[in-house]
Every structure is written in structure tokens, then in C-alpha cells.
Amino acid sequence: MGNTVAREDFEWVYTDQPHADRRKEILKHPEIKALMKPDYNLIWVVVLMVLAQLTAFYLVKDLDWKWVVFWAYVFGSCISHSMTLAIHEISHNSAFGNSKAMWNRWFGIFANLPLGLPYSISFKRYHMDHHRYLGGDGIDVDIPTNFEGWFFCTRFRKFIWIVLQPFFYAIRPLCINPKPITRLEIINLMAQLIFDVVIYYLWGVKSMFYMLAGSVLGLGLHPISGHFIAEHYMFLKGHETYSYYGPLNLLTFNVGYHNEHHDFPNIPGKSLPLVKKIAAEYYDNLPQYNSWIKVLYDFVMDDTISPYSRMKRQLKGEVKQD
């Protein structure tokens, strides 16, 4: 249970990112460009998700605490994690298109409300760096810190690391790549505080607990959280990005199609299965997953895998950040 994993540092690579080269080749398929358009259905799905959570806030307000906890994990956590991936879609301007970038930012703030904690605007800023500079040292905050790699090196500690994923994703940007606070981030914060106060005033502490616990539990020890590890942790040497083609894509806006997403970040999740179908010769033979639960299990139990199991690059030349 306490065996230390072999890896003691990240996998440093000195190659260009694979997605840009593959994108150029796949664009030989003319049908791909036709998929580069907004997904207006995303707007209505997000509105319904917000309404579903508002209904849940009302329904749990008078339940016994054991049922509040139960529903926070069984239902609230799924909706909350799904909403973070809706916000991921919105960060790529998938709701209203690139020509209405600010509409997407405001809509992201709206989608953020039932999560309880401000997230949308900051996520957008850092996530664009993740796409431009995948694995970039000091830039890509999806890469764990050296402390995470050093400390969470046994099976038990890796299990705790998974439980605490929301905490690490929140503090990692401050440790790796702190940025000045923007006006939109302040607006995101103020809108969230006002919403939280209103929920507490109307329905009390149990509704607040349900909201916050759902967000924390949904991003921690939860089947959907397998995508955090499945996307870029190097289970096979030399492979930097992995796709998942299992049923949980239905709840996560197809974020499992991760090779396809990094190749074409301006194609909404709804259309990524079409990308795979059109360019099957590029994707069918890449390493892939069919179970995020198994990814979590293997991450904990495989003593050769740890937070250090990521490819990292020393960036050269000018770096442009949001």
C-alpha cells in the first residue's frame, strides 16, 4: 500500500506539440471546417442545468442532513461537474461563437452561479494557455507542482490527491503562473457572492451546503473526475493526450474526445464524434480509454504512475498569455 513509485521527475520533452501537426493533416478533409461553428443548443442545456440546480436547492432545504449529503453526491456532484465542462465549452466560445466573445464571457458567469464558487473567467484565462502551450513549464497550470509529484507518491497519498483535486486546481495557478486580477474576474466574484447570499437568505444553510458540497465532491472522488487524469497523464510512454469513448461523455459535453478537442479546440464538443469519424485513420490507433473509473483505479494502484507522469516542455521564444 505504501510502495513509492519509480518516477522522480516529469518527462521532459523537446519536441513540438503533436496537435498542431495533426491538425494540418486532418484539415485535408474539407468536412472538418464545416464543424467549426457555435453549438446553440449548449445555451438551452446550460439554462436547464441552472434551473435543475435551483430546483434542487429548494427541495433539499428541509431534508435531514444525511439526505442532503446523499443528494449532494448522487445528483449535485454530477450536475456541478457537468457544469464545469459546460463552462469549458463556453470558454472556447462554443455557445455564441467567436464573433460574440463577450456574450460567452457573460454566459459563463451565469453558468457558474450554481457552483457556488467563482470559476468561469479565471478558468478561461488559464485554459487558453493550456491549449497554446501544452505542458509548458511555468505556463500550463494543468501540470502538477513539484510538491505534488514529490509528496503524492504512494497509493494512499495518490488516493488523497484525487480527493483533493478541487483544492489543487484552485491553488496551482497561484503557485505556478499568478496573473493580475481582471475586471471580469471581479464581476464574476461579485455576481457569485450575491447569488450565494440570496440562496442562503431564501433557503438556508442546507441549500448552501448542497451547492458547495456538490461542487467539491463532484471534482474530487467521483467517476467523472477520471477525465482529469485520463486526458494527459502518461500511462504509455511517449503519448501525451488520450481520448475516452465511454458513456460518461453524455454528461460531459464529449470532453473525453480529448485528442480531437486539442486538435480542433474551436469545434464544439457536440461535433467531436464527427471529427473522429471523418478522420478515423488518425484516431482509431491512438491509445484510448473506455472507463474513467478504471483510470482512477489504475492511477492509484500502479506504482509507476504519479502526478509526475506528465510531459513537460521548456518553452522558447515569445509567450503570449491572456
**pLDDT, tens only, 278-291:** 999 999 999 999 99
Task: Provide the pLDDT confidence category of residue 316 given band limits of 50, 70 and 90.
Answer: confident
User: For residue 4, is pLDDT > 60?
Assistant: no
Residues in the chain: 322
Confidence of residue 6 (pLDDT cuts 50, 70, 90): low
Query: 207-235, pLDDT tens digit by residue?
Result: 999 999 999 999 999 999 999 999 999 99
Q: What is the mean pLDDT of the chain?
A: 94
Question: Which band of pLDDT confidence, cut at 50, 70 and 90, is reported for residue 98?
Answer: very high
Q: What is the mean pLDDT of residues 102-116?
A: 98
- 3-state SS of 24-79 is HHHCCCHHHHHHCCCCCHHHHHHHHHHHHHHHHHHHCCCCCHHHHHHHHHHHHHHH
Rounded to 5°, the CA angle 116-122-128 comes to 135
Considering the chain, what percentage of its residues have pLDDT values greater than 90? 89
Q: Tell me: the pLDDT tens digits for 62-89?
A: 999 999 999 999 999 999 999 999 999 9
Inform me whether the pLDDT recorded for 45 exceeds 80. yes
Q: Please provide residue 288's backbone torsions phi and psi, each rounded to the nearest 5 degrees.
A: -150, 165
Q: Which residue has the higher pLDDT, 160 or 12?
A: 160
Q: What is the pLDDT of residue 237?
A: 84
Position 152 confidence tier, pLDDT thresholds 50, 70, 90? very high
Helix axes 77-91, 120-132, angle to 10 degrees: 60
This prediction's pTM: 0.94
Helix (H) or strand (E) holding 311, with range, is: strand 311-312
